[in-house]
């Protein structure tokens, strides 16, 4: 399985206030060229163990650009569990990372700085 990085880390000027989605919700993005967003959140006044990717599960089609936006105060990464597939490097607060999935499959990823932060992207043809 292969995937293609479409852009490295890019700065963003403003991010939406995080809103928790139900654990059972799996947002689905459209076809090739469409984009989908995942927020990296750090709930205020809570333990770092509550930091997460929202949504934790995302379903997209091949060719979809997925963007991860860091809305927290700490740096994070978006690193594929499958070695070498994709790795954002450090994503500073208020910055983002975009990746385009070029093949179907389920891709698990995590934050190398905060290993309890885990999520998946399921890519369909």
Name the fold adopted by 4-8+26-124: Immunoglobulin-like (2.60.40)
Q: Where are the domains of the chain?
A: 4-8+26-124
State pLDDT tens for residues 61-110: 999 999 999 999 999 999 999 999 999 999 999 999 999 999 999 999 99
Nearest Cα residue to 28 out of 63, 57, 1, 68 = 57
The answer to whether residues 92 and 70 touch, using CB atoms and an 8 Å cutoff, is yes
SS3 category, 48: helix
pTM: 0.74
Check residue 112 and give its pLDDT.
Answer: 98
SS3 category, 17: coil
């Amino acid at each position: 399985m292969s995937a293609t990085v479409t852009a490295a880390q890019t700065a963003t000027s403003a991010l939406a206030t995080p809103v928790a989605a139900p654990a059972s919700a799996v947002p689905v993005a459209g076809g090739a060229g469409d984009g989908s967003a995942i927020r990296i959140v750090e709930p205020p006044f809570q333990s770092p163990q509550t930091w997460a990717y929202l949504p934790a599960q995302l379903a997209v089609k091949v060719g979809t650009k997925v963007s991860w936006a860091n809305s927290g105060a700490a740096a994070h990464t978006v690193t594929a569990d499958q070695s070498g597939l994709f790795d954002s490097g450090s994503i500073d607060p208020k910055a983002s990372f975009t990746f385009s999935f070029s093949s179907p499959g389920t891709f698990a990823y995590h934050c190398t700085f905060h290993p309890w932060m885990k999520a998946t992207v399921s890519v369909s043809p």
